[in-house]
Structures are given as structure tokens and as C-alpha cells.
Amino acid sequence: MKERVALITGGAKGIGRGIALDLAAQKWKIAICYRTSETEAQKTSLAITERGGQAMAVRCDVSDPVAAKNLVAQVEQQWGQIDVLINGAGPYHRINLFEETVEGWNEMFDGNLHPIFYLAQAIAPGMKARKFGRIINFGMANADQMISQPDVTAHYIAKAGILILTRTLAKLLAPHGITVNAISPGFIDSGSAPPEELAGVTKRIPAGYIGTVDDTVAAVRYLLSDEARYVNGANIQISGAWGI
């Protein structure tokens, strides 16, 4: 891949950080957006430059449509274009549906689903003009099954919505040389959950082990490559066969 510009929301840590560092090794220009993880964002930016990439770290709440639009404009002003959008940001909490608050319910949609819409609207014109673009959204390994989820209801509905939005964007943008795909992780050791908690779910995973950030990064690398130019509207599960 030639030098490109990527915008990664939630890029300060975890899977987003792994993607950023992988692209940095290929000399990409990488803008990472964070909401609260300033220390981690600074460390990731330094790691990007150490690996040969160029870094920009921007504090932004992409659940705000105006802020999301301004984020795209800021990156385009700095580097002239955005070739890749990785929608990795998204809050999560576990609570029974009948104990959920209105604020908590709305947060799951505002943080997980709505930013993809806001950012896609802002970034599509530039991608269309250049006849190239890659958008990757993050779902959830079993969100396509539409099963009951009493303790993560809003989060689950938002993730299912991401799959519909991904396919819709793919159909609308395919004529312009742009692909839009989803990656749906299962249990991944990304640093967000204690090791003992992950160890407890290993027996539920047919593959018999927890996935790594590298497993997810490999799928992203493929979707960004020329080999995946005809893959559009897909949902790749990274779960060791859990959730299917």
C-alpha cells in the first residue's frame, strides 16, 4: 500500500492502538481520536512516530455531530485527505434492562452507532472525489443473531444497527471505489478486561483460547489491502467460532 492517511476513533489503546501501530510500520499518516485517554493517546502517538509513521492525536467526542464533522475537517486540513476511517470508539456497560437509565440507554447509541453515521457523512465527499476509500466499523461477534441480551440490550441493538449501516454505506459508496466493511470481535485480550475474567470464558470458545489484538489487526490489514477491493458490505467475525 502506498502512503495513506487514516483516522482511527478510539485509537489511543486496545485494538485501535494495534491498528495504528501496524499502519505506522507502513509509513502511514495516522490521526487518532480519543475522549478521555490523553496519556494513552500521547504514548500511542510517540509509538507511531517511532515506527516511521506520522501522528496526530485529537481529543474529540464523536457522539457530538458537530465535533465529528470538525474532526474530519481538521485531519483533512492537516494532511489533505483521509483514505481510511476506522470506527473503533464505543462505550460499553453491563446492566439489566429494567435497571438501565435513559442516559445509559442513549449513551450506547450515541457512542457506538451514531458516530459512524456522522463521520461517514463528513468523510464521504473527499473519498468520492478521489475515487478511493476504506471504512471499517466494529460490531460484536453475535450481533447478527438478534438474540435476547437482558444485560447489554442497548449496546447489542447498537451493534446490530452497525451491521445494517455498514451494508447501506457499502451499497451507496461502492460506485465511487469505496469499501465499507465490519469486523465483529468476540473475546479479545485487548487490555480492557482482567486476565482472570477472560480465562473464565475460554471454555465457551470453540477454538479454546482468547483472541489477540494481532488477530484483529490482521483482518483490518486485509480489508485495507488491494486484495480486498471487491469485499464490500462484509462482516468478518474474529471470535474463534464463539457467537455463531
Query: Has 156 been annotated as catalytic?
Result: yes
User: What does each C-alpha distance from 41 to 28, 85, 124, 188, 193 come to in angstroms?
Assistant: 17, 17, 26, 21, 19
Cβ-contact 124, 178 below 8 angstroms: yes
Cβ-contact 51, 27 below 8 angstroms: no
Q: Which of 34, 118, 156, 209 is catalytic?
A: 156
103-140 b/e with 16+ CB inside 10 Å = b?
A: eebebbbbbbbbbbbbbbebbbebbeeeebbbbbbbbb
Measured between alpha carbons, how far is 194 from 176 in angstroms, rounded to an integer?
43
Residues identified as active-site:
156
